[in-house]
Structure 1
Amino acid sequence: MSKYKLAATAAMGIESLVASEIRDLGYDCEVENGRVVFWGDERAIARTNLWLRTADRVKIIVGEFKATTFDQLFENTKSLNWADYLPEDAEFPVSGKSVKSTLFSVSDCQAIVKKAIVEKLRSNYKKVSWFEENGPLFKIEVSMLKDIATITIDTSGAGLHKRGYRTGQGEAPLKETLAASLIKLTNWTPDRPFIDPFCGSGTIPIEAAMIGQNIAPGFNREFVSESWGWISGDIWDYVRNEAEELAKYDEPLDISGFDIDHKMIEIAKSNSMEAGFGEMLNFKQMQVRDITSKKEYGVIVGNPPYGERLGDKPMVEKMYREMGQALSGLDTWSFYLITSHPDFEKYFGRQATKKRKLFNGFIRTDYYQYFGPRPPRKKE
C-alpha cells in the first residue's frame, strides 16, 4: 500500500479532539489550525472516514508550495503526480479559497489549477483531446493562505457530520460532529446516566449512544472515495467488518432527551429508530425547570437557546435561572452547557469549573463545564 499525507479538517477549538481520535486509531499526527495532519495508507483513509466523530472531512494533501504568481501556481501544480490519483475518466471539479495571499482571485486560481492538472494528465495518458470526466468524482481544492498553496482531494464526499440517521430536524440543528465533541469533552462513561434537557431532534443523545456502544459514526453511510479504483472494495469491507466486531451493542445505556416541543420529541424518536437504537433511548416532552432525578453521578449535556434575537433574551435568561434552580438539586451530577450568552453564569446562579471557546457554526460560544464529584470506585 502507498503512503499519503492526509488532513482531517476540524472546526476551531476541536482540533485536539480530532488528534486524539486519530492517535486512538494508531496514527501519529500534528495539530494545526483547522486541521490535523497525519500519514496513512488506503486503509487509513477508509478507517478515519468511518471512525472520526469530531472531524469535518478527510483530505489527501497532494501538494503544498509557495505561489505568488500564476506561473508558479501552474508549474508547481503541473509537477505533482496526478496520474497516481486520477484515472483517465475522472471527474475533477476544482474549488478554491484565498486568505491574505497575493493571488486573491479564487476563480483565477481554480482555472489555473484545473488547466495544470489537464496538461499533466494529457502527458500521462498521451491524450490530445479534452477529458470526458464521466468517471468517479475527485473533488479538488486549491487553498491559498499567506501565499502558500495547498492542493487537496476530498476523500469523504458529504461532510462527516452526515451520519445518515437524520429523518428530520429543527430550525437550528446542532451538527453531529459538534454534538460528539461536546460529549467527548465531558467525564461521561456509558455506565452513568445521561440527560440532554434541550434535545431537539435528538442529536446529542444519539451521539452519546454511539459513543457509549463504540459504534463507528460512518458505519451506515457511503464515502466518495469508495468509487476510486485504487482503494479496493476489500479494504472497505475490512474496515466495516472491523467496526462491526468492535461495536458493543449489548452495552446498557441510560440516556434521556427532553424538549419543550412535542413535535421535536417525535422527530428525535424517529431519528433514534433510524440510528438503530429503537426505544433504547428515552425521549420525553419536558421543561428544563421540571427535571429531577433520584439517580446519582449523572451527566447533563445541553445546547439551550442562546437568545440571539433581542426579543428572546428576557425569556432565555428566565429559563437559565429556572434551569440553575432545578439542577441545583442534582448535587452529584456534572453539567455541560454551550451558549453564546455572555452572562450565562450570572443567570444560571454559579460559576463554571471550566470554560472552553467553541464555534457552533459561525456563532462563537462558551462551553460551561461544571464538574460534579467522581463516582465511587466499583468493587471488584
Structure 2
Amino acid sequence: MTTHRLVATSAMGLESIVADEVKKLGYQTQTENGKIYFEGDELAIARANMWLRVADRVKIIAGDFRATTFDQLFEQTKAIPWEKYLPVDAAFPVQGKSVKSKLFSVPDCQAIVKKAIVERLKLAHKRIGFLDESGATFKIEVSILKDVVKLSIDTSGVGLHKRGYRLEQGEAPLKETLAAALVYISKWNPNRPFVDPFCGSGTIPIEAAMIGQNLAPGYNRSFISEDWPWMSEKIWEDVRLEAEELANYDQPLDITGSDIDGKMIDLAKNNAIEAGFADLINFKQRQLRDFTTSSKDGVMIGNPPYGERIGEKETIEDMIQDMGRIMDSYPSWSVYMLSSMADFETLYGRKATKKRKLFNGFIETNYYQYWGIKLPRE
C-alpha cells in the first residue's frame, strides 16, 4: 500500500461536514475553501468514495508547484513520477481551470500538461512514438490559482452525488450531497419522526433513510478507480463487505415525504424503490396546509420552491406563512428549511434559532433552523 495525498472536494459552506465525515473514517484533515485534504492508501481511496455523503469527488494530488511560464509548467509537470499512477496504456484526458494567474489560457495549459505527462511516461516505460491510451482512464485536472499549479487525478469518475437510485427527477432537483448535508445539520436520528413537505422526487427523505440505516451512499454504484490496475479487486470487495456489515437494515424508520404534485410522488416512489426503501418511506400527495401529526419531537426538513417564475412568489409567501402558523401547534418539532427568500423569517412569523448560508447550485440560500422545545425524558 502507498500513502497518497488526497483531497475530497465539496460545495462551499459544506467543508466542515465533509471534514467530519473524513475524520470519522479515521483520517486527519486540513481544510481550505471547498477542499478537505487528508492522507491515505488505496483502501482510504475506496472507503472515502464509498462513504462520503456530502463530498463531490475524491482526488489524488499528484503534485503542486508555482509556475508563471509554460516552460516551468512543462518541466515541473514532467518531474512528477506519473508512472506510479498511470500504466503505459493509460487513457488520460486533461481538464483545466485557471484563476488570477499569468498562465490564463486553459487550452494551452491542458496541452502542455498532457505533453509533459506523455514525455514522462515514454521515458519511464522506455517507449518511442505514440502511447495508444487503450487502457483504464485516469482523469487529470490542472488547476492554477494565483500562479500555484495543482495537478490531481480523479478517483471517483461520475460525481459522488450520483448514488444510482435517482431514475427520474423534477425540474429543479436538489443534489443528493446537499440533501444529505441538510439532514446532517438537523442532527436528526432514526428514532425521531421525519417529514419533508416539499419532497419532489424524494431526494431528502431517501438520503435521510440512508443515514438512518447507515447505508453507504456509494454501495450501488461504481467508481473510475475500480478499473485501475493498482487498485486491487480485493480492496473494493473488502470495502463493499464492510458497508454490508455496517448497514442496519432492521432499523425502523418513520419518514414521510409529501408534495402537492401527484406526478412527483410517483417519481419519488420509483426512486425509493430503486434505493431499496419501497416500504420504509411513506410518500403521499398533500398540501402543506393539510399537515397534521400526533407525533412529538419530529423533524421537518424541506426545500420549498424559490419563486423564480412570474406569479409564483405570492403563492410561496402564503405557503411559508401557513407553515409558520401550522408548526406553532407542534412546539416539540424542529423545522429546517432551505430558501433563497430574504424575508423568509418575516413570512414564517419568527426569527430562526440559527441560519446557515448554503449554495444550491449557483443559487445563494439560507438554511433556516427552528429548534423545537426539548421534551422531558420519559
Normalising by structure 2, what TM-score? 0.99
d(CA) in 1 for partners of 2:263, 2:327? 25
Q: 1:349 corresponds to which residue?
A: 349
Q: Deviations over 1:80-103 (max 9, x none)?
A: 010000001100000000111111
1:361-376 to 2 correspondences below 5 Å: 361-376=361-376
Q: 1:323 corresponds to which residue?
A: 323
Tell whether 2:30 aligns with 1:30.
Answer: yes
Change (3 A) 1:375 1:19: farther
d(CA) in 2 for partners of 1:112, 1:161? 31
Q: Provide the secondary structure at the position in 1 that maps to 2:195.
A: strand
Question: Does the 8 Å CA contact 1:49/1:57 hold for their aligned counterparts?
Answer: yes
Tell whether 2:77 aligns with 1:77.
Answer: yes
d(CA) in 2 for partners of 1:18, 1:274? 26
d(CA) in 2 for partners of 1:281, 1:102? 53
Q: What is the CA distance between 1:308 and its match in structure 2? A: 2.0
Question: Does the 8 Å CA contact 1:292/1:330 hold for their aligned counterparts?
Answer: no
Q: What is the CA distance between 1:310 and its match in structure 2? A: 4.1
Tell whether 2:11 aligns with 1:19.
Answer: no
1:135-284 to 2 correspondences below 5 Å: 135-284=135-284
Q: What is the CA distance between 1:350 and its match in structure 2? A: 1.0
Q: 2:358 corresponds to which residue?
A: 358
Q: What is the CA distance between 1:377 and its match in structure 2? A: 3.7
Q: Deviations over 1:116-164 (max 9, x none)?
A: 0000001011111111111100000000111100000000000000000
Q: What is the CA distance between 1:226 and its match in structure 2? A: 0.1
Match for 1:17: what amino acid? I
Q: Provide the secondary structure at the position in 2 that maps to 1:191.
A: coil
Tell whether 2:302 aligns with 1:302.
Answer: yes
d(CA) in 2 for partners of 1:375, 1:270? 36
Question: Does the 8 Å CA contact 1:291/1:327 hold for their aligned counterparts?
Answer: no
Tell whether 2:114 aligns with 1:111.
Answer: no
d(CA) in 1 for partners of 2:28, 2:376? 35
Match for 2:174: what amino acid? L
| Percentage identity across paired residues of the two chains | 63
1:58-77 to 2 correspondences below 5 Å: 58-77=58-77
d(CA) in 1 for partners of 2:220, 2:188? 25
What is the CA RMSD across the aligned residues, in angstroms?
Answer: 0.8
Change (3 A) 1:121 1:266: same
d(CA) in 1 for partners of 2:260, 2:218? 30
Match for 1:216: what amino acid? A
Q: Deviations over 1:22-51 (max 9, x none)?
A: 000000011110110000000000000000
Question: Does the 8 Å CA contact 1:292/1:329 hold for their aligned counterparts?
Answer: no
Q: Deviations over 1:38-86 (max 9, x none)?
A: 0000000000000000000000000111111111111110000100000
Q: What is the CA distance between 1:375 and its match in structure 2? A: 4.2
Q: Provide the secondary structure at the position in 2 that maps to 1:50.
A: helix
Match for 1:104: what amino acid? F
Question: Does the 8 Å CA contact 1:58/1:154 hold for their aligned counterparts?
Answer: yes
Q: 2:285 corresponds to which residue?
A: 285
Question: Does the 8 Å CA contact 1:50/1:219 hold for their aligned counterparts?
Answer: yes
d(CA) in 2 for partners of 1:251, 1:25? 22
Q: 1:127 corresponds to which residue?
A: 127
Q: 1:43 corresponds to which residue?
A: 43
Match for 2:337: what amino acid? L
Q: Deviations over 1:271-306 (max 9, x none)?
A: 000001112100000011111111000000000011
* Uncovered stretches (5+) of structure 1, i.e. residues with no partner: none
d(CA) in 2 for partners of 1:376, 1:71? 69
d(CA) in 2 for partners of 1:232, 1:187? 36
d(CA) in 2 for partners of 1:208, 1:4? 32
Q: 2:92 corresponds to which residue?
A: 92
Question: Does the 8 Å CA contact 1:49/1:218 hold for their aligned counterparts?
Answer: yes
d(CA) in 2 for partners of 1:376, 1:28? 38
d(CA) in 2 for partners of 1:26, 1:375? 34
Match for 1:121: what amino acid? L
Q: What is the CA distance between 1:348 and its match in structure 2? A: 1.0
Question: Does the 8 Å CA contact 1:257/1:282 hold for their aligned counterparts?
Answer: yes
d(CA) in 1 for partners of 2:374, 2:7? 36
d(CA) in 1 for partners of 2:247, 2:174? 25
* Uncovered stretches (5+) of structure 2, i.e. residues with no partner: none
